Amino acid sequence: MNRQSYLKYIKEAVLEGRRQYERQIESWKASFDPNRFLGMYSPPGFIPLQAQTEGFLFRVTGEREYGEQAKRMLLAVEEFKAILPAEVAQRHPEYAKGIPSFETMFQGSHYIQGYLFLKGSELLSEAETSRIEASIRSAIHGMLHYPEWGAHNRSMLRVFALSLAIAALGDTEETREWSQLRDILAEESYGRWSIEDSELYLPLWLISCMAYAELTGKEADYYAKPQTKYYFDFITRAITPYGQIPDYGDAMFNSHWLLWFVCMEKGAARYRCGQMKYAAQQIRDYAMSQLEGPQSLFVAAYFTYAYLWGDDTLEPVKPDWKSELLLDDVVGKKIVFRDGAQEDSSYLLHNYRDEGDYAFTSREYLRRTINAPAEKVHHGHADENSILMLVKQQNILLHDGGYRDQAPNGKYRADIYHNRLVFRSGRPDPEGTMYDFIHDDGTYRRVSTELLHFHSFGGIEYSRTRLYDPYRQVLWDRCITFLKEEGVYIIVDWTVSRIDQSLSTVNLWHPGTVIEADQDYYVGQVRHIYSAPDDPKPFVNRRELGLLIEFPGSSRPKGHERIRRCYGESDMIFEADSRQLEAGGMSCFATVLTPIPLSRNAREFTGRTIITALSPSHDQLALTYTGLNKKIELTYKLDLNKGVLDVPDYPKYDWEQGCLHYGSIATDADFSFVSTTDSSTGRYGFVNGIGIRYRDSELFRTPVMSSYQFQTDSYKEANHKWRAWHGIFHPGGTR
């Protein structure tokens, strides 16, 4: 699509909006509930949208009919206030100067933009201008009672509306006060980090920041800031190969794609970035392919921004993204695993984002102001160390758990609705369900996370992220190993109890519907994804593939239960470990995820990954994957302190004392692999190690170095750990 196709769509949507006007009004009246969501009034939502799109077409085409229709909408907004009972209005001090003519945050930008398209034209009389500006003023007056602050969407949506209102009403004593409030609210967001980890709300914040920069003449400064560009790069790299925006935090399926799309159009034009242009194209084309029915006014309203902000001369450039950090290990705290950049390529998104060590004051303000105890402030979930999404050949195999069935709290924010470990005190009732045992009030308990490792060896990719849970007194590392050519994901979870306690650790997976279950494996398939309670038209997923889930070597209780998740019925698969732990007690879990074609028997794929070595204390683990003509042996030093020297000298590691034995592999590394085939060449690699031996052959050792010892004023020979290394060798021969 280009500017002309956006214009065509907007024209068709406007005509459809006119045809539906009376029906929409009657529908709004029939469904109006004065007590819904705290009883705050807002007029029919399509009226500001119609005003904006009609006004836009008047500005672009100059055709009077569009201007007349826009004026009609701008004036009509006053007709609906009488529906609000007086006793409801009286309980709101925000209405002391009158009921606001429209809701400021989500209707304000559309309504006021519609007026700005007409402002100064001969279509508006002085009296009509005064009426419309009075409507704008009434909305701002109501908003002034509760100007939420902090680097989040609702603060910046207020800034968006204030910026437009100031432009609409001009320079007055009143708007100068609004200007001060606008700038104060924008201060924590302008060119700075958002506090929201939410696919649904982050683009509302971003587009509002962009509008503020535009309306205050600060675009050159705003787009030059590295924090600003970060968010455009983030979504460019976050989308699936076919253009879906992954759900994370508060979100529904592919929600707010329109905002992401227009943000990317603007970003592409500002940064002259073909990859951003390609991302905008992919987001738009995928989402448009899911739309049904006539042209939408809501879509058209954002197409006005695409028309105004986009650049048709900029060619899209298809990126060749590989597995990577998204984008960093401080703010983004996500990892994407990919096997290519084609639309049918696989994609896995791992999230370890915590609240972070910034914006304490605004987070505390929100915690003490709004009733949302289940959220990771702000709009985040208890999804740290969880796998949010897994896709292959455009078959969604794992997805996030949704937002909430109703306000105020977010049911699906809780840890149990995510693909992760959950921790509970005590043991489950053998007569009860696992869901009843782990289900609690959903209150979010703050944790902290960090990245330990991420490294790609080409065909094998590995990450390790750590979570510190002070409430449950648990440390939890999640290791993900992606066997790229095999299309297999091996998840190794390792936990340490910080105190003596009776603890249940439950390994949870949510693959939609369990279509096959055996004592050794489960096969799940996501058939539908709902976007709201009673969603009449859920997304229908492709069904060529299913997800094979195995717990190799596990004798723990396992099972699956039907629960409500993401607004519909869903199966929860679990593996549970319940025991009395001493401080320092460790546990290890291994899960294998394999996307498989459902046209084939699942048993063709089971049992390929086995545990070949697990120490009694669960501080080191070895796994072997056996495929067609290939064997991949993997080692994990689970306790990273194992083998570290307790001596005054530096460095505090040594090959002879730090080398651990995993059967055929001996290494001191945190992670290592050896891959052999029927050919005469093998491959090896490791992370954070001195060396690696395979059977009787030394594959690699770091060179010995001299190390000055300050305590004794002398030198000694010492080993040195390299960050990572890989190479080839010939079994029975040389490297």
Backbone φ and ψ for 344, nearest 5 degrees, come out as -95, 5
> Exposed/middle/buried for 637, CB within 10 Å: 0-12, 13-18, 19+?
buried
Q: List the helix and strand counts (H, then E) for the chain.
A: 18, 31
Q: What is the pLDDT confidence band of residue 167, given thresholds at 50, 70 and 90?
A: very high
| Digit-coded pLDDT (tens) for 405-444 | 877 767 899 999 999 999 999 999 999 999 999 999 999 9
Q: What is the pLDDT of residues 519-557, one digit of tens each?
A: 889 999 999 999 999 999 999 999 999 999 999 999 999
Write down the pLDDT at residue 228: 98
Amino acid 714: pLDDT: 87
Cβ-proximal residues to 465 (8 Å cutoff; 6+ apart), any chain: 335, 350, 352, 385, 449, 450, 451, 452, 477, 478
- The model's pLDDT over 122-148, given as tens digits with 9 standing for 90+, comes to 999 999 999 999 999 999 999 999 999
For helices 126-143 and 104-118, give the axis angle rounded to 10 degrees: 160
Please tell me what DSSP assigns to residue 157: H
Q: Which two tokens stand for residue 84?
A: 């609000």
The stretch 256-281 carries a mean pLDDT of 98
Type of residue found at 288: M
Q: Which is nearest to 610 in space by CA: 644, 587, 586, 634?
A: 634
CA distance 143 to 162: 10
- CB-based burial of residue 97 (10 Å sphere; 0-12 exposed, 13-18 middle, 19+ buried)? exposed
Alpha helices in 102-172 (DSSP H): 104-118, 126-143, 153-169
Does 13 have pLDDT greater than 60?
A: yes
Look up residue 31 and give its amino acid. Answer: S
d(CA 254, CA 246): 7
Please give the pLDDT value at position 92.
93
State pLDDT tens for residues 466-475.
999 999 999 9
Q: Give the pLDDT confidence of 251-267 residue by residue, as tens digits.
A: 999 999 999 999 999 99
Query: What is the pLDDT at residue 713?
Result: 86
Distance CA 467, CA 479 (A): 12
Predicted confidence (pLDDT) per residue in 288-309, tens digit: 999 999 999 999 999 999 999 9
CB neighbours (10 Å) of residue 429? 10
The yes-or-no verdict on residue 732 having pLDDT over 80 is: no
Confidence of residue 734 (pLDDT cuts 50, 70, 90): low
Cα separation, 447 vs 196, whole angstroms: 16
Cβ proximity of 559 and 574 under 8 Å: yes
Query: Do 305 and 298 form a contact (C-beta atoms < 8 A)?
Result: no
How sure is the predictor about 735, in pLDDT bands with cuts at 50, 70 and 90? low
Tell me the residue type at 204.
L
Nearest to 729 by CA among 706, 705, 698: 698
Residue 416 DSSP label = G
Contact, 264 vs 279, CB < 8 A? yes
Q: How far apart are CA 571 and CA 517, in angstroms?
A: 12
The pTM assigned to this predicted structure is: 0.96
Q: What pLDDT is recorded for position 40?
A: 85
The number of residues making up the chain comes to 735
Q: Are 612 and 631 in contact (CB under 8 A)?
A: no
DSSP 448: E
Tell me, what's the pLDDT at 733? 60
**Tens digits of per-residue pLDDT, 455-506?**
999 999 999 999 999 999 999 999 999 999 999 999 999 999 999 999 999 9
Between 284 and 696, where is the model more confident? Answer: 284
Question: Is residue 339 pLDDT above 90, yes or no?
Answer: yes
**143 contact partners, CB below 8 Å, separation of at least 6:** 94, 100, 104, 105, 158, 161, 162
For 370-376, what is the mean pLDDT? 93
What are the residues whose beta carbons fall under 8 Å from the beta carbon of 523, sequence distance 6 or more?
Answer: 514, 515, 516, 517, 546, 547, 548, 549, 596, 598, 602
CB 335 within 8 A of CB 326: yes
Q: What is the mean pLDDT of residues 2-9?
A: 97
CA angle 665, 669, 671 (to 5 degrees): 80
Which pair of structure tokens corresponds to residue 443? 């209150």
Question: How many angstroms separate the CA atoms of 625 and 701, rounded?
Answer: 25
Residue closest to 454 by CA, chosen among 600, 307, 629, 332: 332
Q: Give percent of the chain above pLDDT 90.
A: 92
- For residue 503, what pLDDT is reported? 98
Beta-carbon neighbour count of residue 436 at 10 Å?
10
Task: Give pLDDT, residue 165.
Answer: 99
Nearest to 254 by CA among 77, 391, 354: 391
